[in-house]
Amino acid sequence: MISLAEIAEALDCDFYGNGKLVFSSPSEPSSANINQIAIAIDQKFQSELYSTKAKGAIINNNFNWKTTNLEGVIVTNQSKLILSKLTKVFDDLSKEERSINENSLINSSSKIGANPKIGSYVIIKENSQIGNNVDIENFVEIGKNVIIGNNCLIKSGTKIYDNTKIGDRFICHQNVIIGSDGFSFHPQNEESILDRLTKDDSSSEKFVRVASIGAVEIGNDVEIGANCCIDRGTIKNTIIKSGTKLDNLVHIAHNVEIGHNCLICGQVGIAGSTLVGDNVVMGGQVGIADNLKIGNNSIMAGKTGVSANILPRKFMMGNPAMEMKKNIASYMALRRLPKLQTKIKQLNKLIDEISSKLIKD
């Protein structure tokens, strides 16, 4: 539990009323109980404060809270920023005592920093270095020669393979795989796969596997969503630079390099050796072909299929990808096709009738 005054201090906001009110968690006003603080910064929730069971609320300065039954409020106008700070306050409040579980298996050659929290059945192999204040949940496996920075959170089921380097304040959600083998296969006869189109029978031609002996490098303040897969490089490393955020179910292939502060949404796939610039945004299910360059500050709408380089500051849509305005214009033209076909049939019919009449005359 945490008091109204303590929450206000953590949020760097003013409070009014009873600062000694205590709360277990935040809630929307309509579903809040007496132990929860109601969140009504957005005007659409303010009417619910008249019937809420909560004793305290976070509001904006345009609302007169004294017309309600609330006993105390915190006042702010920063909706998104305050929500980020507030969720961190209650997340920290719920964290358990820090310790290393006796069921974890940590190789004696590995070094664990100060104030760790390591759960059950965590495996840390030889010569790895774990920073200070790191939280590693149950069933995580960390390979050999891995370096992990300070203040990182690694959730249950994650596998981090050999030689991976991770910066500070890294957040990794459940069942992420970092450092899996890249998908590299070449025809045994060294011909292009396209050459198979000209052959009668290529069923006997085999693929030769190319092992990945590179690693993965991840910068500071990176967050990776659940069930992502990040392949290690074939020879050079796969790189994700500082500030980048990955949603769930993203696949980053071998040798890919992703710049600073990118946002990559769910089910995106980036094929091998593609270079993604800084501040790039990819909507859900975007597909990027291999060996491409994606320019800085570019945006790709959901389901965009990218098979050619993207210049900086371009908003791309569709498959194949084209600039947003051109994509919308193409779609509008496509919708008009049935009417155009009807008009063409009518015109052809009219031409036939006129031709027949001229021949008769």
Composition of the chain by helix, strand, coil, percent to 5: 20, 25, 50
CA distance 316 to 310: 8
Per DSSP, 144 falls in state: T
CA distance 145 to 203: 42
Q: Where are the alpha helices (DSSP H) in the chain?
A: 4-11, 79-93, 324-360
Taking CA atoms, 132 is separated from 293, 298, 307, in Å, by 36, 36, 42
Active site residue 173: no
Q: Are 60 and 52 in contact (CB under 8 A)?
A: no
Q: Are 101 and 83 in contact (CB under 8 A)?
A: no
Of these residues, 173, 186, 251, 254, which one is catalytic? 254
User: 61 is written with which tokens?
Assistant: 């300065």
Candidates 240, 260, 316; CA nearest to 283 is 316
Taking CA atoms, 101 is separated from 110, 145, 184, in Å, by 16, 22, 39
Q: Three-state SS for 280? A: coil
Instruction: Give the residue numbers annotated as catalytic, written as ranges.
Output: 254
